[in-house]
Structure 1
Amino acid sequence: MAKVFNRSATNTYCRTIAVLLLLLWRNILIVRPENGVADDGVSSRKTSPDGYLRVAGDGEGSSFKVALFADLHFGENAWTDWGPRQDLNSVNVMSTVLDVESPDFVIYLGDVITANNLPIHNASYYWDQAITPTRARNIPWASLFGNHDDAPFEWPIDWFSSSGIPQILCPSVNSSGGDECSFKGTTRLELMRNEIAHSSLSYTGFGPQNLWPSVSNYVLTLVSPKRDPKLPLMFMYFLDSGGGSYPEVISSIQSEWFRNKSQEVNPDSSVPEIVFWHIPSKAYEKVAKKVVGKRTQCVGSMFQERVAAQEAEMGMMKRLRERSSVKAVFVGHNHGLDWCCPYEKMWLCYARHTGYGGYGNWDRGARILEISEDPFSIRSWIRMENGTLHSEVILST
């Protein structure tokens, strides 16, 4: 990863052009509408008036497809030539996946931005860039937080060399108090409020205040036009696994929230459930040991690093094991892992590193989920940046 700063006039000019090109590309995407879009910008075939997610169509073979974008790391090293170029590469990855798969829904699985590299007042500027390809195609989405999304700014040591602190390009559109730059960071609450306030396609939700500083804790319901609305097809739970401004954990009160919420919406566990968060739990470490010993039926193409798990297990996996309705958990965080492995009565899955920011040079892609209704099944595969498909697995029938 290049981190050396060059103060020459030529490089400053190149950085300015790169940022302008990124903004131009964003504006081009935003004005490109798709067919079948309602007046409010939400595709009427994908969502219902009550805000629930809806399976497309009412015939045989109807399904709901979800694309998972993990670890995009927008804004990383934004003061160099390298940074804006990686963001453009990440846009290309997402655009390819969206155009090939045409998903009904997108989930941003954490580390949308690299906040520790963002010296601007409102990091939502880069968060918005990351969401642009999805918004441009009028596809609804939801997001949750990773460990980098509100991490405190890290001063690069290069800035304190003899050449001095560089002229940082900070978007003036996000300035406040007359200053273009700020090193205080943008909180989870600020990021989420901005997304919800400015995005009619966002299904992201605030968690209960008693869970804060953990923020992205909520549940979405998938319904079908063929079913009674009181009989959902599936529940999708989103949890904030911490990191950044506080420890990397799913707290005991979060696990208790999940227990209460799942009992409320799915008391008899008759409806399938899937769960999303960013940092893998300790259970992923247990599964990985079996992978090394070749004693498990894992499906994937990358087993390139050790699991970097949460700091502690505080009851969430126990809650999941208690519910026969939980079919799979999906995480990001480890860029060199993309497997799905059986664990107890569920599957533990990684997404695929989607963004060009962050560590590692592995090929980029995205995990795809397809929830079919009749008969019910959850199928998953990896779609790569070059358009190829691999690692198909049936997670539930």
Structure 2
Amino acid sequence: MKKLKFNENGQFKIVQFTDLHVGAYPFVEEDLQTLKLMEKTILEEKPDLVVVTGDLIWSEGVKDPLKSYEVVLDVLNKTGIPFAIVHGNHDTEENITRSDLLKMEETIEQALSKDGEDIKGRNNYSIPIYTSSEETVGSVLYMLDSGAHDLYEIGTYEWILPEQVSWFLREAKTYHEDSSNKIPSLSFFHIPLPEYKNINLSNETVGVKNEEICSPELNSGFYTALFEQGDVMATFVGHDHDNDFCGNYHGISLGYGRVSGFNCYGELTRGARIITLSEQKYSFQTYLKLSNGEETNHYTHHESTRKEVIS
């Protein structure tokens, strides 16, 4: 995995794309627009890292979805910018498996998902971001596969598994020796947590909620693990194309990206989320960069105001 670090100004920039929904190859015009949006955004923003939070392709009804996935990865790879992927529910609906996706990613130079831990067919990995001096880890990105469709038919979508929650807690401990040494971190996955439904859409929340939040019906406790572990400042997801809000929930920001694919449902202007981390600060800034060039929905996560337990 390529060593990522904060720049000399103490900044680290991430571009988040989500829900590309690229269809069968050769691509229709809408898919070509999606790829152009990605290339244009990366060229203009010059990020340190690109993150794609699931549903890169349509696989249902597509004869050769691996070819479509190959082209999308090639577009990302040619930018020369490292990129990280988590899979979504539409990526493996038909004629392709998550193992197929990962095998393809493993052949791509700039892909960072190669060294993940497979948990019941889901790839999970962390990405350390080093300080500008490269002496210590200044931030960590936790990348989790939130699954696809609920096989128990309790609801529509799966949840982050208890085994993945345990993985996160173990993984977080590898980055610091004691619980007092918190490292400002983020987590990316596709399907929103049930806690997204608890966000108060007030003046402190930036963005819109234009559709129902399609989270799992069962709560596997990942938010509670994030809260008690204390490092993660925010989670960023996709999945719901007409939602793009970001708001604080008990000290952790719960945010959406902006739908990036033109070949799928949704009324919002296509775009990407830009996230800028500041070295050794428990805060970040983020906004949406739209396909028309507009920058909107600026949001800042400040130092956590949550109550701490004094022992």
Name the counterpart of 1:283.
Answer: 195
Name the counterpart of 1:54.
Answer: 5
Indicate whether 1:316 and 2:222 are aligned: yes
Indicate whether 1:133 and 2:75 are aligned: yes
**Structure 2 CA distance for partners of 1:305 and 1:135, relative to 1, 3 Å:** same
Indicate whether 1:331 and 2:237 are aligned: yes
Structure-1 separation of matches of 2:221 and 2:283: 28
Structure-1 separation of matches of 2:146 and 2:127: 18
**Which structure: greater helix fraction?**
1
- Which range moves more in the overlay, 257-266 or 245-254? 245-254
Structure-2 separation of matches of 1:359 and 1:238: 25
Is the 1:233–1:272 contact (alpha carbons within 8 Å) kept by the matching residues of 2?
yes
Question: What CA RMSD, in Å, does the superposition of the two structures yield over aligned residues?
Answer: 2.0
Name the counterpart of 2:112.
Answer: 203
Is the 1:280–1:332 contact (alpha carbons within 8 Å) kept by the matching residues of 2?
yes
Superposed counterparts of 1:1-397, under 5 Å: 51-56=2-7, 58=8, 61-75=9-23, 84-120=28-64, 123-152=65-94, 185-197=95-107, 199-209=108-118, 211-213=119-121, 215-228=122-135, 231-243=136-148, 248-266=158-176, 267-268=178-179, 269-287=181-199, 290-291=200-201, 294=202, 297-300=204-207, 302-373=208-279, 377-397=283-303
Is the 1:110–1:146 contact (alpha carbons within 8 Å) kept by the matching residues of 2?
yes
Structure-2 separation of matches of 1:326 and 1:377: 10
Q: Matched residue of 1:342: which SS?
A: strand
Is the 1:100–1:387 contact (alpha carbons within 8 Å) kept by the matching residues of 2?
no
Match of 1:151, as an amino acid?
A: E
Match of 1:195, as an amino acid?
A: E
- Which range moves more in the overlay, 86-95 or 326-335? 86-95
Structure-2 separation of matches of 1:117 and 1:380: 36
Q: Matched residue of 2:33: which SS?
A: helix
Structure-1 separation of matches of 2:141 and 2:290: 24
Structure-1 separation of matches of 2:61 and 2:262: 15
Question: Could you tell me how far 1:102 is from its partner in structure 2?
Answer: 1.1
TM-score (norm. length: structure 2): 0.89
Structure-2 separation of matches of 1:129 and 1:189: 17
Structure-1 separation of matches of 2:20 and 2:149: 16
Matched residue count? 296
Match of 1:310, as an amino acid?
A: P
Q: Matched residue of 2:264: which SS?
A: coil
Is the 2:205–2:245 contact (alpha carbons within 8 Å) kept by the matching residues of 1?
yes
Question: Could you tell me how far 1:227 is from its partner in structure 2?
Answer: 4.9
Structure-1 separation of matches of 2:285 and 2:123: 25
Question: Could you tell me how far 1:265 is from its partner in structure 2?
Answer: 2.0
Question: Could you tell me how far 1:244 is from its partner in structure 2?
Answer: 5.0
Is the 2:184–2:280 contact (alpha carbons within 8 Å) kept by the matching residues of 1?
no
Residues 242-272 of structure 1: CA deviation (Å, up to 9, x unaligned)? 0059651111111111111112223424211
Residues 169-188 of structure 1: CA deviation (Å, up to 9, x unaligned)? xxxxxxxxxxxxxxxx1110
Residues 141-194 of structure 1: CA deviation (Å, up to 9, x unaligned)? 010100001013xxxxxxxxxxxxxxxxxxxxxxxxxxxxxxxx1110111111
Is the 2:89–2:149 contact (alpha carbons within 8 Å) kept by the matching residues of 1?
yes
Name the counterpart of 1:169.
Answer: none
Match of 1:273, as an amino acid?
A: S
Structure-1 separation of matches of 2:150 and 2:247: 30
Is the 1:72–1:356 contact (alpha carbons within 8 Å) kept by the matching residues of 2?
yes
Q: Matched residue of 1:116: which SS?
A: coil
Is the 2:185–2:234 contact (alpha carbons within 8 Å) kept by the matching residues of 1?
yes
Structure-2 separation of matches of 1:244 and 1:212: 14
**Structure 2 CA distance for partners of 1:93 and 1:233, relative to 1, 3 Å:** same
Question: Structure 2: 5+ residue runs without aligned partners?
Answer: 152-156, 304-311
Q: Matched residue of 1:106: which SS?
A: strand
TM-score (norm. length: structure 1): 0.70
**Structure 2 CA distance for partners of 1:245 and 1:85, relative to 1, 3 Å:** farther
Identity of aligned residues (%): 27
Structure-2 separation of matches of 1:206 and 1:260: 16
Q: Matched residue of 2:230: which SS?
A: coil
Q: Matched residue of 2:60: which SS?
A: helix
Structure-1 separation of matches of 2:233 and 2:277: 12
Q: Matched residue of 1:217: which SS?
A: strand
Question: Could you tell me how far 1:111 is from its partner in structure 2?
Answer: 0.2
Question: Could you tell me how far 1:206 is from its partner in structure 2?
Answer: 5.0
Question: Could you tell me how far 1:375 is from its partner in structure 2?
Answer: 5.7
**Structure 2 CA distance for partners of 1:143 and 1:380, relative to 1, 3 Å:** same
